[in-house]
Amino acid sequence: MGIFEIAHFLKPEELDEALRADVSAGLTSEPKTLPPKWFYDDRGSELFTEITRLEEYYPTRRERAILAARAGEIASVTGARTLVELGAGSGEKTRLLLDALDLETYVPVDVSDDYLLEAAEKIAAEYPELDVRPVAADYERHLSRIPGGPRKLVAFLGGTVGNMVPRERHRFLSAVRATLGPEDGLLLGADLVKDEKRLVRAYDDGQGVTAEFNRNVLRVINARLDADFVPEAFDHVAVWNAEDEWIEMRLRSRGRQEVRVGALDLTVRFADAEEMRTEISAKFRPERLESELEAAGYTLAEFWTDPDGDFSLTLARP
């Protein structure tokens, strides 16, 4: 019972090294890209929380509605005693699960350890019977080492699976599958394909919060890699890629510019209106989710959506 110390699978040096490698590869490739993982410093996490409250951004609200409606079923179907939450965010949706499940152990996993400890401490205080074992890890790399327990439910919520391209998704879902025993399960939140206008609005809101969130990755690189990006010199772009069925966020250079990344000893040139991709957010058709999960070794136990059919929650089993 109570909280355990954070288990660090990611030393601060490793996190720095991963950032350097990503930024170096992304800024020297054609077209330039940056992975979305680095949006989430303190300010980025706050901006994301602000996004989840925007009228245009429906996914969080819809997923919460599904969880609220189905938490009891999730508890009875899985009989889960251990909850491993990958990319444990602010914890508001988590509480719906913690209230419904009869858990011994909760393992929140996140790369950002400040945020993780704060959230874990709150939960440990609110659920005194629960063992809370926070793990600072990169769930794309350290899956096999994350502690589990009997009757484990791995939750990957929010639609973050959409940040991966199909090949990465397959690798990730298979790696999660490899950690599951016959009694265990995966609870996967995924956003669904819908009207293009609504999709684009969700990623290009009227108040410009998403634009600030997008530009925040440049601030992170400035602060951590001694770079001199002028965030205001990039416009936020959100487009629907109909072929791949994903939203792309990009940053478009206003005019020609040169950026210095001190820690990488790198100078990067942007052409006028050059676009750099900073995130994909894939949207799914139910058939596609099912076939991808089956290809990764799962069988579908339950597939739920909200009443409007905007978002999905899937319970998959080995």
Residue 42 assigned as binding residue: no
Closest CB to ligand AVJ among 59 and 134? 59
Closest CB to ligand AVJ among 250 and 317? 250
User: Which of 264, 259, 246 has its CA nearest to residue 218?
Assistant: 259
Shortest Cβ 277–ligand AVJ spacing (Å): 12
User: Which of 249, 242, 159, 164 has its CA nearest to residue 196?
Assistant: 242
Residue 279 assigned as binding residue: yes
Helix (H) and strand (E) counts in the chain: 9, 15
Closest CB to ligand AVJ among 32 and 201? 201
Q: Which residue has the tokens 């992975």?
A: 35
Shortest Cβ 310–ligand AVJ spacing (Å): 12
Closest CB to ligand AVJ among 35 and 162? 162
Question: What tokens were used for 127?
Answer: 């659920």
Shortest Cβ 263–ligand AVJ spacing (Å): 26
With CB atoms as reference, the residue minimizing the distance to ligand AVJ is 281
Shortest Cβ 234–ligand AVJ spacing (Å): 15
Residue 292 assigned as binding residue: no
Print the SS3 string covering 205-271. CCCCHHHHHHHHHHHHHHHHHCECCCHHHEEEEEEEECCCCEEEEEEEECCCEEEEEHHHCEEEEEC
Question: What tokens were used for 279?
Answer: 């995130």
Q: What angle do CA 40, 46, 50 make, to 5 degrees?
A: 120
Residue 216 assigned as binding residue: no
Shortest Cβ 35–ligand AVJ spacing (Å): 11
Element spanning 52, H or E = helix 42-52
Residue 106 assigned as binding residue: no
Closest CB to ligand AVJ among 180 and 280? 280
Residue 244 CB coordination number (10 Å): 13
Closest CB to ligand AVJ among 78 and 163? 163
Shortest Cβ 3–ligand AVJ spacing (Å): 25
Residue 280 assigned as binding residue: yes
Question: What tokens were used for 314?
Answer: 């899937």
Give the whole-angstrom CA distance, residue 21 versus residue 161. 22
Binding residues for ligand AVJ, rule: CB under 6 A, are: 51, 59, 158-160, 162-163, 203, 210, 213, 279, 281
Residue 57 assigned as binding residue: yes
- Specify binding-site residues for S-adenosyl-L-methionine: 87, 93, 110, 138-139
| Binding annotation | 57, 87, 93, 110, 138-139, 163, 203, 279-281
